[in-house]
Amino acid sequence: MTAKKNKGLLTRSAPYLLAIYCIAVLLFFLAELKLFGLDEHLRATNQVLILFALLMLPFVIINMPSFIQSLTLRISDKEFNIQLSNLESTLSESISKVQRQISTAEQSLWPMLADTDIKSKERLMAAPPTLILGAKADPSQLFFTQLLACAIFHYKPLIKLDIRYPNGDSMRNFAELKYRWLDMYMDCTGTCIQYFNISQKTANGLVKEDSQIVEELNFYGNNLGIKWLSLLGASEDYCLVMTPESMQQHDIKSLADLKTKGHNLVLSADPEFMNRKDCLLGLIDYGINFKEVLPCSVSDRYAGLKTEEADVFVGYESDPELMRNEVRQLEDLDQFFPRYLIVPIISREVLDCFDGLEDTIGLLENCMTTKELNDIVAKIAKANNDPERAKAEAQRIFDRAIKSKG
C-alpha cells in the first residue's frame, strides 16, 4: 500500500518537478547570455549546467510516462512514435536484472568482510549444541539438508539444527563455512574444484578418478579448516538443454553445435552460472557466444519456456523438466563440464567437537544413485518443495543406508 501511495505521489508531482527543472535550466541559460540582468543574480558554468542536466535526466525519463504516454517525432518525411510506458517497463526490467546479479555478489562478499564468527565455538559447546546447515535454492538441496539432519539426529538426537534453506549460492555457502557462519552443507565436486583452480583432467587429458578429486580438495581444505567427506554416489551434473522442437529447428544436438549457431540464440541462466569459469565464462572460451543472456534466479531457470524468451537453458541432470522430456540435454562430447558428484562438506572445528560424527555421516557413502536422486527431486518438486516430503524421502534413504552397512 505504501509503495502504491509513493508511486501516486510521484505521478502527481512529476509535471511540476519537470516544469521547475525546465524553468531552472532556462534561467541559467539566459543568465549565461547576460539577458534581463539575470547574470547579476545567477551564474553557472557550462560544466555546472551539464552536470545539473545529467543529474535530473534519469528522473525526467522515468517520470515522463506518468503524464506523457507517447511522443511522435517527425524527421524529414519519416514519423517515429515512442511509447514511453514501454520505455519505463524496459528500464524497470533492466534494473531488476542488475539487482539480481548484485545481490548474488553481495551474499558471497559479506562473510568475507565479517570474517570468522567469534561465537561459533560457543555455539558448538553449548548445552545443547547447535549445528547450522546451509543449502542452495533448489529441491535437491532441500533433500540434502534433511539427509544431513537424519545423520546428525542418529548421531546425537539432542543436537539442535538450524537449517537455512535457501541460504544463497555455492560461493556464499562456501564462504560461510570457511568463516564459521555455518557448519556443513552438500555441494558438488565440479563446483568446488573451481575454488582452487583444480582441473578435472590429468596432464594426459584423462578424467581424474573421483577419489583423486576429493583428495585434492582436502589438500587445499586442510589450510582452510574444511573437510570434504565421502561421496554420496549420485551426481547432479550441469548441462545445457533445449526443447526438442528448438533443437530440430536449429539442427543442434551438442554443445559443439552452439559454436556456430549460438549467436542466434538466447540463453537463460542464473547469476552463479553466468560468473563461473566452468560455466558461461568457460563456454565463451570454448567458442560459444549467445545472442543474449537472460538473467534469472536459480529456481526460475525455465520461466522462459512458457514465454519463449529463451532458446537454451541451464540444466541439472536432476531437473524434473528433463525427466518429463520437456527439454533435452545437449551432448557434451568434449567433456566441457566436469562431474558434479554430491559430497558433504563440513568444518573441521565441528569434527573436533563431535567425535564420531564423521563416521555417522560416512554412512551416506554411496547411499543412492543419480536415478534415485532424480526421482526424489521430481517428487519434492511435485509437492511444491514441501519440507515434510523431503524429510520423508531423506529418512527412507538414510534408513536403507544404515541397514546396508549392518
Q: 349 and 220: one domain?
A: yes
Written as one letter, the residue type at 134 is G
**End position of a domain, from candidates 48, 69, 90:** 69
pLDDT score of 112 more than 60? yes
Answer yes or no: do 216 and 272 share one domain.
Answer: no
Domain-located, residue 91: no
Q: Which of 282, 301, 329 is the last residue before a domain boundary?
A: 329
Residue 56 lies in domain: 2-69
Decide if 121 is inside a domain. Answer: yes
Higher confidence at residue 53 or residue 278? Answer: 278
pLDDT tens across 131-184, in order? 999 999 889 999 999 999 999 999 999 999 999 999 988 889 999 999 999 999
Residue 226 placed within a domain: yes
In a domain, 122, yes or no: yes
- Whether this model's pTM surpasses 0.75: no
What pLDDT was estimated at residue 99?
46
Q: Give the range among 11-15, 326-330, 365-369 with minimum mean pLDDT.
A: 11-15
In this structure, are 182 and 317 located in the same domain?
A: no
Partners of residue 239 on adjacent β-strands = 315
Which CATH number belongs to the domain containing residue 286 in this structure? 3.40.190.120
Asked if the structure places residue 263 within a domain, the reply is yes
**Quick check: is 90 in a domain?**
no
Task: Let me know whether 267 and 316 are in one domain.
Answer: yes
In a domain, 334, yes or no: no
- 244 and 320 housed in the same domain: yes
Least reliable range by pLDDT among 5-19, 219-233, 374-388: 5-19
- Please tell me whether residues 227 and 349 are part of one structural domain: yes
Let me know: does 102 contact 110? Beta carbons within 8 Å: no
Same domain, 314 and 349: no
Which of 150, 143, 134, 133 lies closest to 372 in space, CA to CA?
A: 143
C-beta pairs of 284-291 under 8 Å, 24+ apart in sequence: 286/255, 286/259, 286/334, 286/336, 287/259, 288/255, 288/258, 288/259, 288/262, 289/262, 289/263, 290/258, 290/262, 290/263, 290/265, 290/266, 291/262, 291/263, 291/264, 291/265, 291/266
224 lies in the same domain as 208:
yes
* Average pLDDT over all residues of the chain: 84
Give the pLDDT band of residue 6 (cuts 50, 70, 90): very low
Specify the number of domains making up the chain. 3
**What integer is the mean pLDDT of 185-198?**
95
CB 131 within 8 A of CB 183: yes
Instruction: Tell me the H-state helices in 199-279.
Output: 210-221, 244-250, 258-261, 271-274
Pair 201, 178: CB distance under 8 Å = no
Are 15 and 55 within one domain? Answer: yes
Give the pLDDT of residue 91: 45
β-pairing, 184-188 vs 342-347, is: antiparallel
Average pLDDT over every residue of 326-347: 95
Residue 92 predicted with pLDDT over 90: no
Report which of residues 20 and 371 the model is more confident about.
371
Burial environment of residue 113 by CB neighbours within 10 A (0 to 12, 13 to 18, 19 or more): exposed
Closest C-alpha to 278, from 309, 241, 240: 240
Name the domain boundary from 274, 300, 329. 329
354 and 223, same domain (yes or no)? yes
Residue 68 has pLDDT above 60, yes or no: no
CATH number at residue 226: 3.40.190.10
Examine residue 81 and state whether it is found in any structural domain, yes or no.
Answer: no
pLDDT band at 51 (very low <50, low <70, confident <90, very high): low
> Does residue 355 sit in the same domain as residue 324?
no
**186 and 160 part of one domain:** yes
pLDDT score, position 100 = 47
More confident residue, 132 or 37: 132
* Phi, psi (rounded to 5 degrees) for 265: -120, 155
